[in-house]
Copies of this chain bind each other. A is one copy, B any other.
Amino acid sequence: MTQMKSKYEIFREKIKVILYGTDTVLGRLFDLVLLGLILLSVLLVMMETVQGINQKYHSQLIMCEWVITVFFTIEYILRIISIQKPVRYIFSFYGIIDLLAVLPMYLSIFFPGASILSVVRALRFFRLFKILHIPQISHQSVQLREAIEASKEKILVFIYFVLISTVIIGSVMYVIEGKESGFTSIPVSIYWTIVTLTTVGYGDISPITPLGQFVASFVMILGYGIIAVPTGIVTAEFAKNSLKNSTISTKKACEKCGSQVHFDNAKYCYECGTELPNI
């Protein structure tokens, strides 16, 4: 009995190394196969929605999708089995995505059309960075995230003001243009305002009265100008980070007080006056 359990343990260990590890040949190979299958499955779902392709190859597409779904299901079960704390994996970001990636196909047995939801598999692509495991890239994405996070609050305040302006401008345009030119209701007018303010400009709705065109011109110039604000916020963050990295060093940590950032040529900690290690 103990021996059997031990065999199972060894199996679990092996599986874990393959599924979660990226250092062994098998582990890396599995990751690459997985990536390929994710890409394939997303393409399959896409192709299923293209009239011409679907009519010709419907059964083949469905079969392939089932094969991949079964593979993903086995992978999901093995991931749960092999890990120490399965509950933590199940409710983690990747765990939920892995589940969502297989559910739609099983649902499609009862609700035809649910298979379209398989497209959430695209979210599994986020594993890429884990798989590639290139320190440089993950360093870059950390920097990206930091800069975006640091500017998050400012950008939210900005979007809040933009949304209020959007409601006001949308209502004004509804009053000016009336129902003839497509501004059929305030929500539609607000939709138009967002289309215009973000400089997308579909042209499905556009002002036709002179006054409407005048106000629209104002909105466009506003939208053209205020794009400077989020850009300025994020850029300043990036600039701050990259400047910090270049004239100031983060490699000399003070051993006493733990402060991280010093001048490149600093000899003493600016915080507590302790001598810094010479690097």
Establish whether residues B185 and A200, one from each chain, have CB atoms under 8 Å apart when the complex forms: no
Q: Is A8 an interface residue (CB 8 A)?
A: no
Establish whether residues B119 and A168, one from each chain, have CB atoms under 8 Å apart when the complex forms: yes
Q: Is A275 an interface residue (CB 8 A)?
A: yes
Establish whether residues B235 and A232, one from each chain, have CB atoms under 8 Å apart when the complex forms: yes
**Cross-interface CB contact of A260 among B128, B204, B263, B273, cutoff 8 Å:** B263
Q: Considering the complex, which residues of chain A in the window 35-62 have a beta carbon less than 8 Å from any beta carbon of chain B?
A: 42, 45-46, 49-51
| Contact partners of A167 in chain B: CB under 8 A | 42, 119, 122
26 A-B pairs with CB atoms under 8 Å apart are A51-B185, A117-B175, A119-B167, A128-B160, A137-B157, A144-B154, A144-B233, A195-B217, A199-B200, A201-B201, A201-B202, A203-B204, A227-B227, A228-B235, A235-B236, A237-B242, A240-B242, A244-B246, A250-B263, A253-B265, A258-B258, A260-B261, A260-B265, A260-B271, A266-B271, A268-B271
Interface SS of chain A? helix
| Contact partners of A158 in chain B: CB under 8 A | 144
Q: Considering the complex, which residues of chain A in the window 178-224 have a beta carbon less than 8 Å from any beta carbon of chain B?
A: 184-188, 190-191, 194-204, 206, 210, 213-214, 216-217, 220-221, 223-224
Taken together as a complex, chains A and B put the C-alpha atoms of A14 and B147 apart, in Å, by 45
Taken together as a complex, chains A and B put the C-alpha atoms of A80 and B121 apart, in Å, by 53
**5 pairs of A and B residues whose beta carbons are closest in the complex:** A268-B273, A200-B201, A236-B238, A202-B203, A266-B270
| Contact partners of A265 in chain B: CB under 8 A | 250-251, 253, 260, 270
Establish whether residues A258 and B257, one from each chain, have CB atoms under 8 Å apart when the complex forms: yes
Establish whether residues A122 and B168, one from each chain, have CB atoms under 8 Å apart when the complex forms: yes
Q: Is A27 an interface residue (CB 8 A)?
A: no
From A42, which residue of chain B is reached at the shortest CB distance? Answer: B167
| Contact partners of A257 in chain B: CB under 8 A | 257-258
User: In whole Å, how far is A93's beta carbon from the nearest beta carbon of chain B?
Assistant: 14
Taken together as a complex, chains A and B put the C-alpha atoms of A174 and B194 apart, in Å, by 21
**Cross-interface CB contact of A217 among B194, B230, B269, cutoff 8 Å:** B194
